[in-house]
Chains A and B, each alone.
Chain A
Amino acid sequence: MTRKDPSGGLVISPIRNGTVIDHITAGEALNVLRILGITGSTPECLSIATNVKSKRMGKKDIVKIENRELRTEEVDRIALLAPQAKINIIRDYQVVEKKGVEIPEILKGVVRCPNPGCITNTNEPVESTFEVLDKGLHCLYCDWLIKDDIANHII
């Protein structure tokens, strides 16, 4: 899925259908995939570029996911790690929809509560639920506050 560009670098080729996530904070591409639940064992054809030169950001990451159009609630999760990310929905090589990401008010089943005593870390049939505050993520079950290193708590 790559071709050599005239300057000697490698560029990811366009995709026919799917989603391109552009302007991801450099170094966060793999975490973005984790937050979307896309792992090495999922069927999607993926292209990932990291630390690509960017006029606006200096460096950025790009992810292309073939044959899958991300839903709004999925892409908004990305805002936790890459608030400047831009989502392009591609159909037949054309960008048919372009949107930014918005940090959601509530995150369900995205982040694991770091509190080992939290009821969501048991076999109970509930998903972790956090409200997104300026100061961090607040667990709505045990009131734990995740202030930093959110990527490490992604399920």
Chain B
Amino acid sequence: MYHIISIRDFERDDLDYLLDRAQEFDTGKYRSGMLDDKLVALLFFEPSTRTRMSFATAMARLGGRSISVDSVEASSIVKGETLADTIRVVSSYADAIVLRHPKEGAARLASEFASVPVINAGDGAGQHPSQTLLDLYTIRQSMSVDGIDVGLLGDLRYGRTAHSLALALSLYGVTLHTIAPGGLEMPANIALELRERGMEVVEHPNVEEAIRELDVLYVTRIQRERFPDSASYYNVASSYRITTDLLAGVKERLMILHPLPRAGEIDPEVDCTPYARYFEQAKNGVPIRMALLHEVMK
């Protein structure tokens, strides 16, 4: 059975294959009823807009249907049911499970109890492989991923999208530039793992120092829920902001990505520049998730 749990489980060829498949779906090279007898269960125990809707959209485009749990409050989790039991039961209803859960390792656990394929749609501060694939896909639409300079800006400690993406980029000979407010630096074990994978990781004290070297700037949101009070959150959150002034002198092909939602990290004026690619990035969630759903249920 084919589960999609962590970017660590993928070799470069696997990623390239899925990106190629997504491109076929993106360009209409597919039959609309490919999954017309299939049902996917969307189990989202944390808030989500783009990920949940794009999985539902992808399933519908392939002719399949979705059933969903949209919150912990609406599920038997509030009655004390374990995730393991929930997964066992839902396995008997659906042909695949897409899971978002606040605990790290939840998708791995789910794959052990499921009798159908499980796709990780984000587990705590852990992994978010489908987001990483659409990030790679968006980069690949403009340039080869090999050997480029990518900056990760923002919450690199808790931000699962940053962790997943960095691990994937290590397969492409990318130089990684990390820029994080104090206390939100990339965990030492992940930085160590990246270097062990042969990746050059350069730390910068601020985005101004790095931005002119970059081909891709990946901006992430500071997560308010990680801070004990509003004052400390605003103190950190206001420590960086991408503005049009900041973009003077950057590489012509620079692309700014963001997994969204944003909360002030990118000035809306930047949306009108050719560097802003985050809305295209969000749109790419559909062909990527079509490729993943088809792959696990074909």
Contact = CB atoms under 8 A, between A and B. Distances in A.
Nearest to A142: B104
Highest count of chain A CB atoms <10 Å: which of B82, B103, B126: B103
Interface stretch (B106-114, B128-136, B207-215, B227-235): B106-114
Contacts of B83: 119, 124
B63 interface: no
B84 interface: yes
A117 interface: yes
B84 A126 contact: yes
B192 A135 contact: yes
Interface string B88-116: 00000000000001111110110010000
Interface string B112-149: 10000000000111110000000000000000000000
Contacts of B189: 143-145, 147
Interface in A115-136: 115, 117-120, 122-126, 135
Nearest to A128: B105
Contacts of B79: none
Given A124-B84, A142-B126, A117 B103 contact: yes
Given A126-B112, A135-B192, A144-B189, A120 B82 contact: no
A51 to B, nearest CB: 34
A100 to B, nearest CB: 29
A124 B104 CA distance: 13
A141 interface: yes
A140 interface: yes
Nearest to B127: A143
B214 to A, nearest CB: 27
Describe B's contact surface by its main secondary structure: mixed
A142 B108 CA distance: 8
B192 A124 contact: no
A85 interface: no
A141 B124 contact: no
Interface residues of B, number: 22
Contacts of A144: 104, 189
B29 interface: no
Nearest to B192: A135
A140 B82 CA distance: 19
Contacts of B31: none
B105 A142 contact: yes
Contact of B105 (A135, A141, A145, A147): A141
Contacts of B80: 123
B104 A119 contact: yes
B298 interface: no
B101 to A, nearest CB: 8
Contacts of A124: 82-84, 109
Contact of A119 (B6, B103, B125): B103
A139 interface: yes
Contacts of A115: 104
Contacts of B84: 124-126
Highest count of chain B CB atoms <10 Å: which of A122, A142, A143: A143
A145 B103 CA distance: 17
B58 to A, nearest CB: 26
Contacts of B127: 143
A115 B124 CA distance: 11
A107 to B, nearest CB: 15
B192 A119 contact: no
Contacts of A139: 105
B105 A125 contact: no
Interface of B: 6, 8, 80, 82-84, 101-106, 108-109, 112, 123-127, 189, 192
13 contacts: A117-B104, A118-B105, A119-B104, A119-B105, A120-B105, A124-B83, A126-B112, A139-B105, A141-B104, A141-B109, A142-B124, A143-B126, A145-B192
Given A117-B102, A117-B103, A124-B83, 15 more contacts: A117-B124, A118-B103, A118-B104, A118-B105, A119-B104, A119-B106, A119-B123, A123-B80, A135-B192, A143-B104, A143-B105, A143-B126, A143-B189, A145-B192, A147-B189
